[in-house]
């Protein structure tokens, strides 16, 4: 059990370190182009590992996996747009409202309203110090949260219809295709820079390949409820990664807001475990 927990923690740290490194490169390359590099890297690895079978699939199978890919692409694109506008830790905190809402809606327990209130308090606290916040950044983070909730729902259906990593590999390919055109337009010649390509590949490994691998192994012995609680640490991990990599400091009130959302997520997931697939953000 302890080994599995450490694997999940490593995955969480890796995801947020990758996000911080990606943001640090936004002055050189656009967020959309960085999303493309990240998705392309993870897609190549997943396709090589999964080697999915493309034949013998029903129309519904393809509709589900394409929907899964759209939610994956939208989630990555919108959260990187948010990273470009507001602090990393705050963006992930706001994004986490998506899966938190899904967890609460899936429960019929009246006490879960407490977690809704706690999360709402966290959001309100963020509004007291809006100096480093802006409306577009918040809106993109909320969009990412909605896409994450959709990702969770569609990942469950994809897992039922596609074996192993097949569905995730194909969905990742769909997401990559969706952002390819905009990435080429916004990235321009920067996408030909070897340094940019190397860092983009590094972000793909940190934000997708390592977490997928760690979580795949961990979930063999870790209960979904414990896994969900551990994933609730994402906002705090994002804030810490931003401090180390970007020197992006939060105020005490903003840390309190992050803590409210983390505690609300822990409480909601302990009340009703939600099936959670590895989330690349």
Contacts of 153 (CB under 8 A, 6+ apart): 102
Contacts of 103 (CB under 8 A, 6+ apart): 228, 265, 268, 269, 271, 272, 274
Q: For the segment 251-269, what is each residue's pLDDT rounded down to a tens digit?
A: 888 899 889 888 887 776 6
- Give the pLDDT score at 21: 94
Q: Is the pLDDT of residue 144 over 50?
A: yes
- Give the pLDDT score at 224: 64
Distances (CA, A) of 13 to 9, 10, 96, 241: 6, 5, 16, 8
Q: For the segment 92-128, what is each residue's pLDDT rounded down to a tens digit?
A: 989 988 887 777 776 666 666 787 788 788 877 877 7
Q: For the segment 193-249, what is each residue's pLDDT rounded down to a tens digit?
A: 899 999 999 999 999 888 877 876 776 777 766 776 777 788 889 999 999 999 988
């Amino acid at each position: 059990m302890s080994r599995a927990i450490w694997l999940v923690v490593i995955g969480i740290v890796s995801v947020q370190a990758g996000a911080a490194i990606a943001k640090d490169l936004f002055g050189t390359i656009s967020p959309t182009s960085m999303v493309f590099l990240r998705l392309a890297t993870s897609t190549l690895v997943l396709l090589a590992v999964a080697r999915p079978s493309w034949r013998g699939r029903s129309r519904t199978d393809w509709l589900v996996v394409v929907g899964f890919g759209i939610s994956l692409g939208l989630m990555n694109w919108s959260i990187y747009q948010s990273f470009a506008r507001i602090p990393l830790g705050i963006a992930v905190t706001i994004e986490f409202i998506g899966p938190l809402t899904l967890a609460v809606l899936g429960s019929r327990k009246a006490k879960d309203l407490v977690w809704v209130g706690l999360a709402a308090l966290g959001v309100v606290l963020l509004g007291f110090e809006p100096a480093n916040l802006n409306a577009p950044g918040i809106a993109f983070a909320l969009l990412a949260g909605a896409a994450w909730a959709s990702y969770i729902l569609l990942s469950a259906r994809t897992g039922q219809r596609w074996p192993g990593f097949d569905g995730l590999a194909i969905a990742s390919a769909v997401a990559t295709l969706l952002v390819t055109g905009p990435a080429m337009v916004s990235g321009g010649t920067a996408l030909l820079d070897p340094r940019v390509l190397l860092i983009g590949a590094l972000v793909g490994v940190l934000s997708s390949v390592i977490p997928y691998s760690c979580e795949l192994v961990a979930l063999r012995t870790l209960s979904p409820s414990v896994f969900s609680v551990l994933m609730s640490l994402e906002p705090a991990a994002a804030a810490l990664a931003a401090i180390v990599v970007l020197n992006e400091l939060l105020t005490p009130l903003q840390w309190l807001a992050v803590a409210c959302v983390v505690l609300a997520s822990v409480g909601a997931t302990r009340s009703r475990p939600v099936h959670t697939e590895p989330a690349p953000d």
